Amino acid sequence: MITAPISVPEREHYLNASYGLKSWLLTKDHKRIALLYLATITFFFFLGGLFAVMIRLELLTPEGDMVQSETYNKLFTMHGVNMVFFFLLPAIPAVLGNFLVPLMIGARDLAFPKLNLASWYIFTIGGLFTLYALLSGGVDTGWTFYTPYSTTYSNSFVIATAVGIFIAGFSSILTGLNFIVTIHRMRAPGLTWFRLPLFIWSHYAASLIMVLGTPVIAVTILLLAAERAFHIGIFDPALGGDPVLFQHLFWFYSHPAVYIMILPAMAVISELVAASARKRVYGYEFVAYASVAIAVFGFLVWGHHMFVSGQSVYAGLVFSVLSYLVAVPSAVKVFNWTATLHKGSIALETPMLYTFGFIGLFTIGGMTGLFLAALGLDVHVHDTYFVVAHFHYVMVGGTIMAYLGGLHYWWPKMTGRMYPEILAKLAALTVFIGFNLTFFPQFILGYLGMPRRYHAYPEEFQVLNVMSTAGASVLAVGYLLPMCYFIWSLRYGKVAADNPWGAVGLEWQTLSPPPVENFDEIPTVTHEAYDYVSLPNGSVTPKKEAHVR
Amino acid sequence: MRPSLPLFPEQASSFASEVDALYFFLVALTAFFSVLIGGLVVFFAIKYRRRKNSPPAVIEAEGIALELTWSIIPLIISLFIFVWGASLYFKGSRPPDDAAEVYAVGKQWMWKIQHMEGRREINELHVPVGRAVKLKMTSEDVIHSFFVPAFRTKADVLPGRYTTVWFKPEKAGAYHLFCAEYCGTKHSGMIGYVYAMEPNDYQNWLVGGTAEGTLAQRGEKLFQDLACTNCHKAEGTGRGPALAGIFGTRIQLEGGAKVLVDEEYIRESALNPTAKVALGYQPVMPTFQGLMTEEGLLSLIEYIKSIGPRKPSDAKSQK
Ligand code: HEM
Ligand SMILES: [Cu+2]
* Exposed/middle/buried for residue A232 (C-beta within 10 Å: 0-12, 13-18, 19+): middle
- State pLDDT tens for residues B43-73: 999 999 988 777 777 777 778 888 999 999 9
Best residue in A151, A236, A346 for a mutation probing chain B (most B CBs within 10 Å): A346
Going from the C-alpha of A286 to that of each of A166, A222, A327, A337, A517, the distances in angstroms are 35, 39, 14, 11, 33
pLDDT of residue B253: 87
Whether chain B has a CB inside 8 Å of the CB on A70: the answer is yes
Q: Is the Cβ pair A153, B153 closer than 8 Å?
A: no
B192–chain A nearest CA distance, Å: 11
A78–chain B nearest CA distance, Å: 15
CB A159 within 8 A of CB A176: no
Please name which of B25, B132, B35, B44 lies closest in space to residue B82, comparing C-alpha atoms: B25
Q: Is the Cβ pair B30, A463 closer than 8 Å?
A: no
Which chain A residue has its CA at the smallest distance from B290's CA? A238
Cβ contacts of A148 on chain B, cutoff 8 Å:
141-143, 159
The number of residues in chain B equals 319
DSSP A27: -
Q: How far is the C-alpha of B60 from the C-alpha of A327, rounded, in Å?
A: 27
Angle at CA of residue B63, ends B58 and B67, nearest 5°: 110
Whether chain A has a CB inside 8 Å of the CB on B93: the answer is yes
Domain ranges across chain A? 21-547
Whether chain A has a CB inside 8 Å of the CB on B19: the answer is yes
Q: Is the Cβ pair A321, B79 closer than 8 Å?
A: yes
Cβ contacts of A293 on chain B, cutoff 8 Å:
none
Q: How far is the C-alpha of A179 from the C-alpha of A200, rounded, in Å?
A: 9
Q: Which of A346, A380, A382 sits opposite B19 (nearest CB)?
A: A380
Please tell me whether the peptide bond between B95 and the residue prior to it is cis, using omega within 30 degrees of 0.
no
**Torsion of the alpha carbons at A506, A507, A509 and A512, rounded to the nearest 10:** 180
Question: Rounded mean pLDDT of chain B?
Answer: 88
Helix (H, G, I), strand (E, B) or coil at A346: strand
CA-nearest residue for atom 20, ligand 1, is A391
| Residue A208, CA atoms < 13 Å, CB-side half-sphere | 17
Whether chain B has a CB inside 8 Å of the CB on A219: the answer is no
Q: Is the Cβ pair B84, A364 closer than 8 Å?
A: no
Q: Is the Cβ pair A324, B156 closer than 8 Å?
A: no
Whether chain A has a CB inside 8 Å of the CB on B30: the answer is yes
CA-nearest residue for atom 42, ligand 1, is A391
The C-alpha R_g of chain A, in whole angstroms, comes to 23
Best residue in B40, B154, B165 for a mutation probing chain A (most A CBs within 10 Å): B154
Which chain A residue has its CA at the smallest distance from B58's CA? A343
Which chain B residue has its CA at the smallest distance from A325's CA? B75
pLDDT of residue A416: 93
Over its length of 549 residues, how does chain A's per-residue pLDDT go in tens digits?
444 455 555 688 999 888 899 999 999 999 999 999 999 999 999 999 999 999 999 999 999 999 999 999 999 999 999 999 999 999 999 999 999 999 999 999 999 999 999 999 999 999 999 999 988 899 999 999 999 999 999 999 999 999 999 999 999 999 999 999 999 999 999 999 999 999 999 999 999 999 999 999 999 999 999 999 999 999 999 898 999 999 999 999 999 999 999 999 999 999 999 999 998 999 999 999 999 999 999 999 999 999 999 889 999 999 999 999 999 999 999 999 999 999 888 999 999 999 999 999 999 999 999 999 999 999 999 999 999 999 999 999 999 999 999 999 999 999 999 999 999 999 999 999 999 999 999 999 999 999 999 999 999 999 999 999 999 999 999 999 999 999 999 999 999 999 999 899 999 999 989 999 999 889 999 888 888 887 655 544 433 333 333
Global pTM value: 0.92
Domains of chain B: 8-59+95-212 (2.60.40.420), 215-317 (1.10.760.10)
Question: How many Cβ pairs within 8 Å bridge chains A and B?
Answer: 278
B119–chain A nearest CA distance, Å: 27
CB A407 within 8 A of CB A349: no
The number of residues in chain A equals 549
Q: What is the 3-state secondary structure (H, E, C) of A240-271?
A: CCCHHHHHHHHHHHHHHHHHHHHHHHHHHHHH
CA-nearest residue for atom 6, ligand 1, is A369
Whether chain A has a CB inside 8 Å of the CB on B53: the answer is no
B111–chain A nearest CA distance, Å: 16
Reported as type and span, the H/E element at residue A78 is: helix A69-83
* Exposed/middle/buried for residue A154 (C-beta within 10 Å: 0-12, 13-18, 19+): buried
Going from the C-alpha of A372 to that of each of A72, A134, A288, A379, B34, the distances in angstroms are 26, 32, 26, 9, 17
Q: How far is the C-alpha of A43 from the C-alpha of A31, rounded, in Å?
A: 19
Q: What are the φ and ψ backbone dihedral angles of A534, each rounded to 5 degrees?
A: -75, -25
CA-nearest residue for atom 22, ligand 1, is A369
A305–chain B nearest CA distance, Å: 12
User: How far is C-alpha A344 from the chain's CA centre?
Assistant: 28
- State pLDDT tens for residues B142-177: 999 999 999 999 999 999 999 999 999 999 999 999
Sign of CA dihedral A475, A479, A485, A489: positive
DSSP A111: S
Distance A323 CA to ligand 2 centre (A): 8
pLDDT of residue A272: 96
**Torsion of the alpha carbons at A324, A327, A329 and A335, rounded to the nearest 10:** -120
Which chain B residue has its CA at the smallest distance from A326's CA? B75
Give the mutation target among A372, A379, A392 for probing the ligand 1 site: most ligand atoms within 8 A of CB. A372
Q: Which of A73, A320, A379 sits opposite B185 (nearest CB)?
A: A73
Whether chain A has a CB inside 8 Å of the CB on B63: the answer is no
Write out residues with Cβ below 6 Å of ligand 1.
Answer: A 144, 258, 261-262, 304-305, 323, 327, 330, 366, 369-370, 372-373, 378, 382, 387, 390-391, 394-395, 398-399
A98–chain B nearest CA distance, Å: 30
Cβ contacts of A310 on chain B, cutoff 8 Å:
155-156, 158, 161, 163
CB A177 within 8 A of CB A96: no
Whether chain B has a CB inside 8 Å of the CB on A140: the answer is yes
Whether chain A has a CB inside 8 Å of the CB on B177: the answer is no
Q: Is the Cβ pair B19, A458 closer than 8 Å?
A: no
Pick left, alpha or beta for residue A239 (phi over 0 → left; psi -120 to 50 → alpha; otherwise beta): alpha
Which CATH homologous superfamily contains domain A21-547? Answer: Cytochrome c oxidase-like, subunit I domain (1.20.210.10)
pLDDT of residue A529: 87
> How many CB atoms sit inside 10 A of residue A166's CB?
21
Q: How far is the C-alpha of B29 from the C-alpha of B21, rounded, in Å?
A: 12
B139–chain A nearest CA distance, Å: 11
> How many CB atoms sit inside 10 A of residue A19's CB?
9
CA-nearest residue for atom 43, ligand 1, is A369
Whether chain B has a CB inside 8 Å of the CB on A382: the answer is yes
Which chain B residue has its CA at the smallest distance from A139's CA? B184
Q: Which residue type is seen at B289?
A: Q
Q: Which of B40, B48, B150 sits opposite A344 (nearest CB)?
A: B48
Which chain A residue has its CA at the smallest distance from B42's CA? A356
Q: What is the ipTM of this complex?
A: 0.91
